[in-house]
Structure 1
Amino acid sequence: MSANLPLRPDLDGEAPYGAPEIDVPVRLNVNENPHPPSAAVIESIATAVAQAAQGLNRYPERDFPRLRAALADYLKAESDAHPAPEQIWAANGSNEVMLHVLQAFGGPGRTCLTFTPTYSMYPEYARDTLTDYVTRPRREDFTLDADAAVTAINELRPAVVILASPNNPTGTALPLEDIRRILEAARGHGPMLGAGIGSPARASDCVVVIDEAYAEFRRPGVPSALELVGSANPHLAVTRTMSKAFGAAGLRLGYLAADSALVDALRIVRLPYHLSAVTQAAALAALSHREELMAQVASLRNERDAFVDWLRAQGLTAHDSDANFVLFGPFPDRDTVWRRLLDAGVLIRVVGPEGFLRASIGTPAEMERLRRALVAAIGG
């Protein structure tokens, strides 16, 4: 750095996280919902925000009980889960929710474990909380090897295990049986807690985070880890977001469901009034239109499955996806294919296993343009 600043040594040479922001006609690189809010949703949000603005001289509700109740009600409808409002936590995107988890349970001398390829932000959460970040590989088909996961937990005694389901960038969902096995392995295999006066050291439970950012897009019959949340698994947290299925990436609202004791631990590390009154009002308004927004999810699922079939018909490998994106390839030179697509006005993502590309699911018109551009890119 040019300035003589006391930057932390582990941040020296690091660059800010972010996918390319390029103004092209078709942007399918960051897994956004391609459908903007309807006029009815916009009107509800605008009205709610205007009402909230009347009280902007006051701090917002610090622990946002109304929003937590509305999110709990939504999860009951979407996944037939039954969390109580006190089992819900929210923050500015699921990124901040994850950061709260690592702030509360990670830190120096503690480990965060995950399995790659997976979401590229996980090491940054660990780095920013001074938590050691350790990975183990997934199988060649990108599914999780539950036996290997159990072995790693036994060996490492991590404070936190993060598992994305569906996984980003592969779209792979976790069977509930694998999650149950990992939860059982995590009992008593977290960090050793220091001995006090007259008391010996004791083993903690490792916190298991199931990142379900794309869960609403899962195929029929694929369960949610929300079924396992509660007092039987007090070390489980399931994270969600309004960025994807709700088409509200600009709102920045992520949340989790967990046992109330785990949620209370996150309340310790959150900044005061971290969710603005405007964010709370807009989120509540969006949640009131959940039926309309969920109808979009069904159409995106259909478009995704059709794209997978089309890719396979072109002789490419396309993995079944339970998310709103598809990983496909392999290409001898994926960067050249990516550049040719960009030159044709289509932006997708170079991410994940070598040779593969990832495309978000767009509107039917956007997907048709992607197909035409991909045929030309491969043939060229």
Structure 2
Amino acid sequence: MTRLPVRADLAGLEPYGAPQLDVPVRLNVNENPYAPSPDVVDDIARSVARAAAGLNRYPDRDFSELRAALADYLAAESGVRLDPALIWAANGSNEVMTQILQAFGGPGRTVVSFAPTYSMYHEYARDTSTRWVQGSRRADHCLDLEEVERILRAERPSVVLLASPNNPTGTSLPVEDQRRVLDLAAGTGPLVDGGPSASLVVVDEAYGEFRRDGVPSALELLADHPHLVVSRTMSKAFGMAGLRLGYMACDRRIIDAVMLVRLPYHLSAVTQAAALAALRHRDELMAQVAGLRAERDGLVDWLRSKGFDALDSDANFVLFGRFDDRDAVFRALLDRGVLIRVVGPDGWLRVSVGTPEETRAFTTALEEITA
């Protein structure tokens, strides 16, 4: 058999991907359980049809209209008004993260995060040939600021990845902790032209819209911290996982660097048209978020009432346990048509927030298994 020159660090690895199984209740990948309304679908269809009439031309590579619409949305959602020039979008927040590491990582550079956290982060590092260093969190899964300081001073990373709310724990990073990390990171980057640089701090707010009342967005810190990046997505709260639209807000110099590594015309005209249509219906789509928050909080209360540990969550999922054999519980739930996720610390499982009917199916099955 002909040998192929695949990169040595990729040999024998399996591609990332949560199970996609045809079961009645899918609560494993933190999707919004509510499909777009007929009005939203009609607007997207009309918008895509208009875009299709011009598909012989390349799309607006700077997607100015979309950036302005995202700025309007963030102002309404977080209370922070940004210049559209400080917003950048790509095909999912995965591509946003990869572009950041293409521009600021690479051979000889280091990216740092703290486990447990999103399992894709180390793959972004691997894919961009950036050295990966993973610190640990406290026993309560919150960030250990002493550990953060130790690792940043020792490793001098070019990028620090912090999810808030964190996946899989659902915990948000307190704003005072974010300020502490940002102040520290202002001088812990790699040497550039003989002097220290800043470590880029990426606060991943993929689940930011689900945060509880009184929990601020990291967007409030952007004006005073030019080395801060806040990443968002339309996959979760907007219920547009199939659209693949992620975006970030940051200093213009960071966007200028990312533009050097982005592929030409990376955001298609169809994607831009569909995203703009969805943003026109932001009030309707965001109205679902309050119901999902209530469903989440009720699920946490139910789990605790049954004797399980369940973490307070600012996301649309709950980490719960503890189980001597979590794989057996996962399989037993799957046998009953309920798919959740084996992820995070040993002994814990993660369940996405679904419709009330899906939540009842999950709680009924879990009671049967653990009776």
TM-score (norm. length: structure 1): 0.97
The answer as to 2:340 corresponding to 1:348 is: yes
Q: Which residue is 1:332 aligned to?
A: 324
Name the aligned partner's letter for residue 213 of structure 2. Answer: P
Partners of 1:305 and 1:65 in 2: how far apart?
A: 38
Q: Is the 8 A contact 1:75 1:82 kept in 2?
A: yes
User: Which of 195, 199, 206 in structure 2 is aligned with 1:213?
Assistant: 206
Partners of 2:41 and 2:369 in 1: how far apart?
A: 38
Partners of 2:182 and 2:310 in 1: how far apart?
A: 30
Q: Residue deviations 1:257-288, cap 9 Å, x none?
A: 00111111111110000000000000000000
Consecutive unaligned residues of structure 2, counting only runs of 5 or more, are none
Structure 1 residue 151: Cα displacement: 2.1
Partners of 1:377 and 1:240 in 2: how far apart?
A: 37
The answer as to 2:3 corresponding to 1:4 is: yes
Q: Which residue is 2:56 aligned to?
A: 57
Q: Which residue is 2:278 aligned to?
A: 286
Partners of 2:327 and 2:174 in 1: how far apart?
A: 33
The answer as to 2:116 corresponding to 1:130 is: no
The answer as to 2:171 corresponding to 1:178 is: no
Structure 1 residue 147: Cα displacement: 2.3
Partners of 1:53 and 1:369 in 2: how far apart?
A: 41
Partners of 2:78 and 2:124 in 1: how far apart?
A: 28
Aligned runs of 1:1-380 on 2, under 5 Å? 3-194=2-193, 201-230=194-223, 232-379=224-371
Partners of 2:39 and 2:198 in 1: how far apart?
A: 46
Partners of 1:3 and 1:305 in 2: how far apart?
A: 55
Identity of aligned residues (%): 65
Partners of 1:144 and 1:215 in 2: how far apart?
A: 17
Partners of 2:346 and 2:32 in 1: how far apart?
A: 26
Q: Secondary structure at the match of 1:229?
A: helix
Q: Secondary structure at the match of 1:134?
A: strand
Partners of 2:113 and 2:139 in 1: how far apart?
A: 16
Structure 1 residue 291: Cα displacement: 0.4
Partners of 2:187 and 2:334 in 1: how far apart?
A: 50
Partners of 2:107 and 2:277 in 1: how far apart?
A: 40
Partners of 1:89 and 1:377 in 2: how far apart?
A: 46
Structure 1 residue 3: Cα displacement: 4.8
Structure 1 residue 187: Cα displacement: 1.1
Q: Residues 55 and 295 of structure 1: is their aligned pair in 2 closer, same or farther, counting only changes over 3 Å? A: same
Q: Secondary structure at the match of 2:202?
A: strand
Structure 1 residue 145: Cα displacement: 1.1
Q: Secondary structure at the match of 1:257?
A: strand
Partners of 2:369 and 2:105 in 1: how far apart?
A: 45
Name the aligned partner's letter for residue 259 of structure 1. Answer: D
Q: Which residue is 1:198 aligned to?
A: none
Partners of 2:63 and 2:188 in 1: how far apart?
A: 33
Partners of 1:157 and 1:184 in 2: how far apart?
A: 14
Q: Residues 309 and 266 of structure 1: is their aligned pair in 2 closer, same or farther, counting only changes over 3 Å? A: same
Q: Residue deviations 1:151-184, cap 9 Å, x none?
A: 2111111000000000000001001111111111
Name the aligned partner's letter for residue 136 of structure 2. Answer: P
For the aligned residues, what is the CA RMSD? 0.8
Bigger mean CA deviation after superposition, 370-379 or 357-366: 370-379
Partners of 1:291 and 1:150 in 2: how far apart?
A: 41
Structure 1 residue 81: Cα displacement: 1.0
Consecutive unaligned residues of structure 1, counting only runs of 5 or more, are 195-200
Q: Residue deviations 1:294-316, cap 9 Å, x none?
A: 11000000000000000000100
Q: Is the 8 A contact 1:150 1:181 kept in 2?
A: no
Q: Which residue is 1:197 aligned to?
A: none
Q: Secondary structure at the match of 1:246?
A: coil
Q: Is the 8 A contact 1:28 1:346 kept in 2?
A: yes
Name the aligned partner's letter for residue 223 of structure 1. Answer: P
